[in-house]
Structure 1
Amino acid sequence: MYPFLRYASTIAYAALQVKRGDTLTFKDTSEIKLRCRLSDIDNFLEMNNGRVLTLYDMGRTDFAVRTGLGKQLLKNRWGLVVAGSTIQYRKRIRAFDKVTMKTHIAGFDERWMYIEQSMWVKGKPCSSALLRTGVTEGGKVIETARVLAALNQSDWKLPPTGYVAEWIESDSDRPWPPVG
Protein backbone atom coordinates (compact mmCIF):
# COMPACT_ATOMS: atom_id res chain seq x y z
CA MET A 1 0.00 0.00 0.00
CA TYR A 2 1.17 3.51 -0.78
CA PRO A 3 2.39 5.28 2.39
CA PHE A 4 -0.03 8.22 2.23
CA LEU A 5 0.58 9.34 5.83
CA ARG A 6 4.35 9.29 5.32
CA TYR A 7 3.88 11.25 2.10
CA ALA A 8 1.68 13.84 3.85
CA SER A 9 4.19 14.22 6.67
CA THR A 10 6.97 14.75 4.09
CA ILE A 11 4.96 17.59 2.55
CA ALA A 12 4.16 19.09 5.96
CA TYR A 13 7.79 18.93 7.10
CA ALA A 14 9.05 20.47 3.84
CA ALA A 15 6.45 23.26 4.12
CA LEU A 16 7.58 23.92 7.69
CA GLN A 17 11.18 24.19 6.50
CA VAL A 18 10.11 26.70 3.84
CA LYS A 19 8.26 28.70 6.49
CA ARG A 20 11.49 28.75 8.55
CA GLY A 21 13.39 30.04 5.51
CA ASP A 22 15.14 26.75 4.68
CA THR A 23 14.44 26.87 0.95
CA LEU A 24 16.34 25.48 -2.02
CA THR A 25 16.96 26.50 -5.61
CA PHE A 26 16.97 24.07 -8.51
CA LYS A 27 20.77 24.10 -8.21
CA ASP A 28 20.72 22.70 -4.66
CA THR A 29 20.52 19.18 -3.24
CA SER A 30 17.64 18.18 -1.00
CA GLU A 31 18.39 15.87 1.91
CA ILE A 32 15.80 14.07 3.96
CA LYS A 33 16.21 11.50 6.68
CA LEU A 34 14.00 8.51 7.21
CA ARG A 35 14.08 5.13 8.86
CA CYS A 36 13.50 1.79 7.16
CA ARG A 37 10.24 0.56 8.67
CA LEU A 38 8.91 -2.96 8.92
CA SER A 39 6.37 -2.00 6.23
CA ASP A 40 9.32 -1.24 3.89
CA ILE A 41 11.02 -4.63 4.03
CA ASP A 42 10.61 -7.81 2.03
CA ASN A 43 11.01 -11.48 2.91
CA PHE A 44 14.82 -11.02 2.97
CA LEU A 45 14.46 -8.43 5.78
CA GLU A 46 15.78 -5.61 3.60
CA MET A 47 14.09 -2.66 1.95
CA ASN A 48 11.98 -3.87 -0.96
CA ASN A 49 13.12 -2.52 -4.33
CA GLY A 50 9.61 -1.27 -5.09
CA ARG A 51 9.55 0.59 -1.78
CA VAL A 52 12.87 2.24 -2.68
CA LEU A 53 11.21 3.78 -5.74
CA THR A 54 8.20 4.82 -3.65
CA LEU A 55 10.41 6.49 -1.06
CA TYR A 56 12.28 8.30 -3.82
CA ASP A 57 8.89 9.94 -4.50
CA MET A 58 9.20 11.47 -1.03
CA GLY A 59 12.61 12.92 -1.85
CA ARG A 60 11.34 14.50 -5.06
CA THR A 61 8.35 15.88 -3.16
CA ASP A 62 10.60 17.50 -0.55
CA PHE A 63 12.71 18.96 -3.37
CA ALA A 64 9.60 20.32 -5.14
CA VAL A 65 8.16 21.95 -2.01
CA ARG A 66 11.43 23.50 -0.86
CA THR A 67 12.34 24.89 -4.31
CA GLY A 68 8.95 26.54 -4.78
CA LEU A 69 7.99 24.18 -7.60
CA GLY A 70 5.17 22.78 -5.44
CA LYS A 71 3.63 26.24 -5.14
CA GLN A 72 3.85 26.71 -8.92
CA LEU A 73 2.26 23.29 -9.49
CA LEU A 74 -0.75 24.37 -7.43
CA LYS A 75 -0.91 27.89 -8.87
CA ASN A 76 -0.71 26.77 -12.51
CA ARG A 77 -2.58 23.48 -12.06
CA TRP A 78 0.47 21.58 -13.27
CA GLY A 79 1.32 17.98 -12.54
CA LEU A 80 4.47 15.88 -12.40
CA VAL A 81 5.33 12.77 -14.36
CA VAL A 82 8.14 10.22 -14.36
CA ALA A 83 8.78 9.07 -17.93
CA GLY A 84 11.73 6.77 -17.34
CA SER A 85 14.17 5.60 -14.72
CA THR A 86 17.22 3.51 -14.08
CA ILE A 87 18.39 2.38 -10.69
CA GLN A 88 21.40 0.66 -9.18
CA TYR A 89 21.54 -1.13 -5.85
CA ARG A 90 24.86 -1.53 -4.04
CA LYS A 91 24.17 -2.08 -0.34
CA ARG A 92 21.21 -3.53 1.51
CA ILE A 93 19.05 -1.30 3.67
CA ARG A 94 17.86 -3.32 6.65
CA ALA A 95 14.89 -2.81 8.95
CA PHE A 96 15.31 0.21 11.25
CA ASP A 97 18.37 1.56 9.38
CA LYS A 98 18.57 5.35 9.36
CA VAL A 99 18.60 6.49 5.73
CA THR A 100 19.67 9.80 4.23
CA MET A 101 18.15 10.48 0.83
CA LYS A 102 19.65 13.04 -1.53
CA THR A 103 17.85 14.57 -4.53
CA HIS A 104 19.19 16.97 -7.15
CA ILE A 105 18.78 17.90 -10.79
CA ALA A 106 21.48 16.25 -12.91
CA GLY A 107 20.49 18.04 -16.12
CA PHE A 108 17.59 19.18 -18.25
CA ASP A 109 16.72 19.70 -21.86
CA GLU A 110 13.82 21.43 -23.60
CA ARG A 111 11.27 18.97 -22.28
CA TRP A 112 12.68 16.83 -19.46
CA MET A 113 14.41 17.28 -16.13
CA TYR A 114 16.78 14.49 -15.14
CA ILE A 115 16.72 13.92 -11.40
CA GLU A 116 19.41 12.00 -9.59
CA GLN A 117 18.58 10.47 -6.22
CA SER A 118 20.53 8.34 -3.78
CA MET A 119 20.03 6.61 -0.44
CA TRP A 120 22.83 6.41 2.13
CA VAL A 121 23.22 4.44 5.37
CA LYS A 122 26.09 5.26 7.76
CA GLY A 123 27.74 7.39 5.08
CA LYS A 124 27.73 4.60 2.48
CA PRO A 125 25.69 4.72 -0.74
CA CYS A 126 23.02 2.02 -0.98
CA SER A 127 21.14 2.88 -4.16
CA SER A 128 21.17 5.51 -6.87
CA ALA A 129 18.43 6.36 -9.34
CA LEU A 130 18.27 8.54 -12.42
CA LEU A 131 14.79 9.64 -13.50
CA ARG A 132 13.44 11.43 -16.55
CA THR A 133 10.75 13.72 -15.16
CA GLY A 134 8.51 16.39 -16.55
CA VAL A 135 5.96 18.97 -15.56
CA THR A 136 2.56 18.52 -17.17
CA GLU A 137 -0.33 20.78 -18.04
CA GLY A 138 -3.56 19.25 -19.26
CA GLY A 139 -1.85 15.87 -19.49
CA LYS A 140 0.96 17.11 -21.76
CA VAL A 141 4.58 17.71 -20.77
CA ILE A 142 5.44 21.41 -20.93
CA GLU A 143 8.77 23.00 -21.82
CA THR A 144 11.29 23.25 -19.00
CA ALA A 145 11.78 26.91 -19.96
CA ARG A 146 8.26 27.64 -18.66
CA VAL A 147 9.01 25.87 -15.39
CA LEU A 148 12.30 27.73 -14.92
CA ALA A 149 10.61 31.06 -15.75
CA ALA A 150 7.93 30.40 -13.11
CA LEU A 151 10.76 29.89 -10.58
CA ASN A 152 12.72 32.98 -11.73
CA GLN A 153 15.58 30.78 -12.91
CA SER A 154 15.26 31.34 -16.67
CA ASP A 155 18.97 31.98 -17.08
CA TRP A 156 20.00 28.58 -15.70
CA LYS A 157 21.34 26.03 -18.18
CA LEU A 158 22.29 22.47 -17.26
CA PRO A 159 22.49 20.27 -20.33
CA PRO A 160 22.77 16.56 -19.62
CA THR A 161 26.37 15.35 -19.77
CA GLY A 162 28.34 12.20 -19.00
CA TYR A 163 26.39 9.11 -18.09
CA VAL A 164 23.11 11.09 -18.06
CA ALA A 165 23.54 12.01 -21.73
CA GLU A 166 24.62 8.45 -22.53
CA TRP A 167 21.52 7.06 -20.80
CA ILE A 168 19.27 9.43 -22.78
CA GLU A 169 20.91 8.35 -26.03
CA SER A 170 20.80 4.62 -25.28
CA ASP A 171 17.22 4.84 -24.06
CA SER A 172 16.17 6.39 -27.36
CA ASP A 173 17.30 3.16 -29.10
CA ARG A 174 15.05 1.01 -26.93
CA PRO A 175 12.07 -0.40 -28.85
CA TRP A 176 8.67 0.49 -27.45
CA PRO A 177 6.77 -1.56 -26.68
CA PRO A 178 9.38 -4.23 -26.21
CA VAL A 179 9.15 -7.00 -28.75
CA GLY A 180 8.52 -10.39 -27.29
Structure 2
Amino acid sequence: MIYYWLHMVYVYIGSRIFWEKIRPTSELTRTRRVNLLDCESFRFMANSKYFYYMDLIRYEVVFRSKLYDNTVKKGMFGVLASQKIIYKKPLKMFVKFDITLKLEGSDEKWVYHRQVFKQNGQTCAIGFTKAGFWKNKKAQNMNEILISSDPDYKIKVPSEELLNLFEKDYSILKINDKTI
Protein backbone atom coordinates (compact mmCIF):
# COMPACT_ATOMS: atom_id res chain seq x y z
CA MET A 1 0.00 0.00 0.00
CA ILE A 2 2.90 2.36 0.69
CA TYR A 3 4.13 1.75 -2.87
CA TYR A 4 0.71 2.77 -4.20
CA TRP A 5 0.64 6.04 -2.25
CA LEU A 6 4.24 6.91 -3.16
CA HIS A 7 3.38 6.37 -6.80
CA MET A 8 0.23 8.48 -6.40
CA VAL A 9 2.25 11.34 -4.84
CA TYR A 10 4.70 11.10 -7.77
CA VAL A 11 1.82 11.33 -10.27
CA TYR A 12 0.27 14.25 -8.38
CA ILE A 13 3.48 16.29 -8.15
CA GLY A 14 4.48 15.52 -11.73
CA SER A 15 1.00 16.35 -13.04
CA ARG A 16 0.59 19.60 -11.11
CA ILE A 17 4.13 20.97 -11.51
CA PHE A 18 6.22 19.35 -14.24
CA TRP A 19 4.09 17.76 -16.94
CA GLU A 20 2.12 19.73 -19.50
CA LYS A 21 -1.60 20.16 -19.04
CA ILE A 22 -4.01 18.06 -21.09
CA ARG A 23 -7.70 18.06 -21.89
CA PRO A 24 -9.63 15.59 -19.71
CA THR A 25 -11.26 14.17 -22.82
CA SER A 26 -8.01 13.48 -24.67
CA GLU A 27 -6.48 10.06 -25.09
CA LEU A 28 -3.45 9.50 -22.85
CA THR A 29 -0.79 6.81 -23.26
CA ARG A 30 1.83 6.05 -20.63
CA THR A 31 4.78 3.69 -20.99
CA ARG A 32 5.59 1.70 -17.88
CA ARG A 33 7.81 -1.25 -17.04
CA VAL A 34 6.65 -4.35 -15.20
CA ASN A 35 8.86 -4.36 -12.12
CA LEU A 36 9.57 -7.02 -9.55
CA LEU A 37 6.98 -5.67 -7.08
CA ASP A 38 4.28 -5.98 -9.77
CA CYS A 39 4.82 -9.70 -10.30
CA GLU A 40 3.58 -12.95 -8.88
CA SER A 41 5.86 -15.97 -9.13
CA PHE A 42 8.56 -13.64 -10.51
CA ARG A 43 7.40 -13.98 -14.11
CA PHE A 44 4.25 -12.04 -14.97
CA MET A 45 2.38 -9.02 -13.68
CA ALA A 46 -0.18 -9.93 -11.02
CA ASN A 47 -3.81 -9.42 -12.04
CA SER A 48 -4.34 -6.94 -9.20
CA LYS A 49 -1.66 -4.63 -10.62
CA TYR A 50 -3.68 -4.01 -13.79
CA PHE A 51 -6.26 -2.23 -11.64
CA TYR A 52 -3.46 -0.32 -9.92
CA TYR A 53 -2.18 1.05 -13.23
CA MET A 54 -5.74 1.80 -14.34
CA ASP A 55 -6.13 3.96 -11.21
CA LEU A 56 -2.87 5.80 -11.79
CA ILE A 57 -3.64 6.83 -15.35
CA ARG A 58 -7.18 7.97 -14.46
CA TYR A 59 -5.86 10.10 -11.60
CA GLU A 60 -3.13 11.48 -13.86
CA VAL A 61 -5.82 12.79 -16.21
CA VAL A 62 -7.63 14.40 -13.26
CA PHE A 63 -4.45 16.02 -11.92
CA ARG A 64 -3.14 17.22 -15.31
CA SER A 65 -6.40 18.74 -16.51
CA LYS A 66 -8.97 21.26 -15.37
CA LEU A 67 -10.94 18.36 -13.89
CA TYR A 68 -8.92 18.83 -10.71
CA ASP A 69 -9.96 22.49 -10.39
CA ASN A 70 -13.59 21.73 -11.26
CA THR A 71 -13.98 18.78 -8.91
CA VAL A 72 -11.44 18.12 -6.16
CA LYS A 73 -10.85 21.80 -5.39
CA LYS A 74 -14.64 22.23 -5.12
CA GLY A 75 -14.97 19.49 -2.51
CA MET A 76 -15.93 16.62 -4.82
CA PHE A 77 -14.28 13.24 -4.65
CA GLY A 78 -13.85 10.59 -7.30
CA VAL A 79 -15.90 7.42 -7.06
CA LEU A 80 -15.23 4.27 -9.02
CA ALA A 81 -18.62 2.64 -9.57
CA SER A 82 -17.40 -0.41 -11.44
CA GLN A 83 -14.51 -1.76 -13.43
CA LYS A 84 -14.06 -4.79 -15.61
CA ILE A 85 -10.98 -6.24 -17.22
CA ILE A 86 -10.48 -8.79 -19.96
CA TYR A 87 -7.11 -10.55 -19.99
CA LYS A 88 -5.63 -11.89 -23.18
CA LYS A 89 -1.93 -12.33 -22.54
CA PRO A 90 0.20 -11.78 -19.40
CA LEU A 91 2.61 -8.84 -19.18
CA LYS A 92 6.17 -10.12 -18.76
CA MET A 93 8.46 -8.97 -15.97
CA PHE A 94 10.98 -6.18 -16.74
CA VAL A 95 9.42 -5.52 -20.16
CA LYS A 96 7.88 -2.15 -21.00
CA PHE A 97 4.18 -1.88 -21.72
CA ASP A 98 1.85 0.92 -22.77
CA ILE A 99 -1.42 1.73 -21.09
CA THR A 100 -3.79 3.96 -23.03
CA LEU A 101 -6.81 5.65 -21.46
CA LYS A 102 -9.61 6.67 -23.79
CA LEU A 103 -12.88 8.38 -22.90
CA GLU A 104 -15.70 6.24 -24.28
CA GLY A 105 -18.54 8.54 -23.26
CA SER A 106 -20.49 10.02 -20.39
CA ASP A 107 -23.99 10.47 -19.06
CA GLU A 108 -25.53 12.48 -16.23
CA LYS A 109 -23.81 10.50 -13.44
CA TRP A 110 -20.91 8.60 -14.94
CA VAL A 111 -17.95 8.77 -17.26
CA TYR A 112 -16.84 5.61 -19.06
CA HIS A 113 -13.23 4.82 -19.99
CA ARG A 114 -11.43 2.12 -21.95
CA GLN A 115 -7.90 1.27 -20.82
CA VAL A 116 -5.77 -0.83 -23.15
CA PHE A 117 -2.58 -2.59 -22.06
CA LYS A 118 -0.12 -3.33 -24.89
CA GLN A 119 3.28 -4.98 -24.81
CA ASN A 120 5.45 -5.37 -27.93
CA GLY A 121 2.58 -4.05 -30.05
CA GLN A 122 0.13 -6.72 -28.87
CA THR A 123 -2.99 -6.07 -26.83
CA CYS A 124 -2.59 -7.94 -23.53
CA ALA A 125 -5.65 -6.70 -21.64
CA ILE A 126 -8.52 -4.23 -21.92
CA GLY A 127 -10.14 -2.61 -18.91
CA PHE A 128 -13.37 -0.64 -18.70
CA THR A 129 -14.30 1.74 -15.91
CA LYS A 130 -17.40 3.58 -14.82
CA ALA A 131 -16.52 6.51 -12.57
CA GLY A 132 -17.95 9.76 -11.32
CA PHE A 133 -17.65 12.52 -8.75
CA TRP A 134 -19.69 12.87 -5.58
CA LYS A 135 -20.35 15.73 -3.22
CA ASN A 136 -22.66 15.72 -0.19
CA LYS A 137 -23.58 12.04 -0.80
CA LYS A 138 -24.84 12.88 -4.28
CA ALA A 139 -23.50 12.07 -7.74
CA GLN A 140 -22.56 15.17 -9.71
CA ASN A 141 -23.44 15.78 -13.35
CA MET A 142 -20.50 14.39 -15.34
CA ASN A 143 -21.54 16.03 -18.61
CA GLU A 144 -21.47 19.46 -16.96
CA ILE A 145 -18.13 18.72 -15.29
CA LEU A 146 -16.56 17.59 -18.58
CA ILE A 147 -17.89 20.61 -20.49
CA SER A 148 -16.63 23.04 -17.84
CA SER A 149 -13.23 21.27 -17.88
CA ASP A 150 -13.00 21.12 -21.68
CA PRO A 151 -15.18 23.67 -23.53
CA ASP A 152 -14.52 21.85 -26.84
CA TYR A 153 -16.01 18.61 -25.50
CA LYS A 154 -19.04 17.38 -27.41
CA ILE A 155 -21.15 15.06 -25.30
CA LYS A 156 -20.36 11.51 -26.35
CA VAL A 157 -22.95 8.87 -25.52
CA PRO A 158 -21.35 5.56 -24.48
CA SER A 159 -21.95 2.65 -26.84
CA GLU A 160 -24.70 0.15 -26.10
CA GLU A 161 -22.07 -2.60 -25.76
CA LEU A 162 -20.25 -0.64 -23.07
CA LEU A 163 -23.43 0.15 -21.15
CA ASN A 164 -24.37 -3.54 -21.28
CA LEU A 165 -21.08 -4.41 -19.52
CA PHE A 166 -22.22 -2.49 -16.45
CA GLU A 167 -25.99 -2.99 -16.74
CA LYS A 168 -26.44 -5.83 -14.23
CA ASP A 169 -24.01 -4.61 -11.54
CA TYR A 170 -26.69 -3.42 -9.10
CA SER A 171 -28.90 -6.48 -9.54
CA ILE A 172 -25.89 -8.72 -8.84
CA LEU A 173 -25.29 -6.82 -5.60
CA LYS A 174 -28.94 -7.17 -4.58
CA ILE A 175 -28.98 -10.90 -5.33
CA ASN A 176 -25.77 -11.32 -3.36
CA ASP A 177 -27.26 -9.50 -0.34
CA LYS A 178 -30.22 -11.90 -0.33
CA THR A 179 -28.06 -15.03 -0.50
CA ILE A 180 -25.71 -14.13 2.35
Structure 2, unaligned stretches of length 5 or more?
none
TM-score (normalised: structure 1) = 0.86
RMSD value over aligned CA atoms? 2.1
User: Superposition pairs for residues 69-84 of structure 1, below 5 Å?
Assistant: 69-84=67-82
Displacement after TM superposition at 1:172 (Å): 5.5
2:84 is aligned to 86
Give the Cα–Cα distance (whole angstroms) in 2 for the partners of residues 135 and 83 of structure 1: 10
Give the Cα–Cα distance (whole angstroms) in 1 for the partners of residues 30 and 14 of structure 2: 10
Partner SS for 1:166: helix
- In structure 2, the CA distance between the partners of 1:42 and 1:143, relative to structure 1 (3 Å rule), is same
Partner SS for 2:62: helix
- In structure 2, the CA distance between the partners of 1:100 and 1:154, relative to structure 1 (3 Å rule), is closer
Give the Cα–Cα distance (whole angstroms) in 2 for the partners of residues 153 and 8 of structure 1: 28
Contact 1:41 1:47 in 2 (8 A): yes
1:132 aligns with 2:134: no
1:158 is aligned to 156
2:5 is aligned to 4
Displacement after TM superposition at 1:114 (Å): 0.7
TM-score (normalised: structure 2) = 0.86
1:13 is aligned to 14
Give the Cα–Cα distance (whole angstroms) in 2 for the partners of residues 155 and 121 of structure 1: 30
Partner SS for 2:99: strand
Give the Cα–Cα distance (whole angstroms) in 1 for the partners of residues 41 and 137 of structure 2: 38
Amino acid at match of 1:85: Q
Question: Which of residues 57, 60, 69 is equivalent to 2:58?
Answer: 60
Deviations 1:18-45 (A, max 9, x none): 2xxxx32233101112111111111262
Q: Which runs of 4+ in 1 moved over 6 A?
A: none
Displacement after TM superposition at 1:67 (Å): 2.6
Amino acid at match of 1:13: G
Count of paired positions: 176
User: Superposition pairs for residues 19-58 of structure 1, below 5 Å?
Assistant: 23-43=21-41, 45-58=43-56
Displacement after TM superposition at 1:70 (Å): 1.9
- In structure 2, the CA distance between the partners of 1:152 and 1:106, relative to structure 1 (3 Å rule), is closer
The sequence identity of aligned pairs, in percent, is 19
Partner SS for 1:174: helix
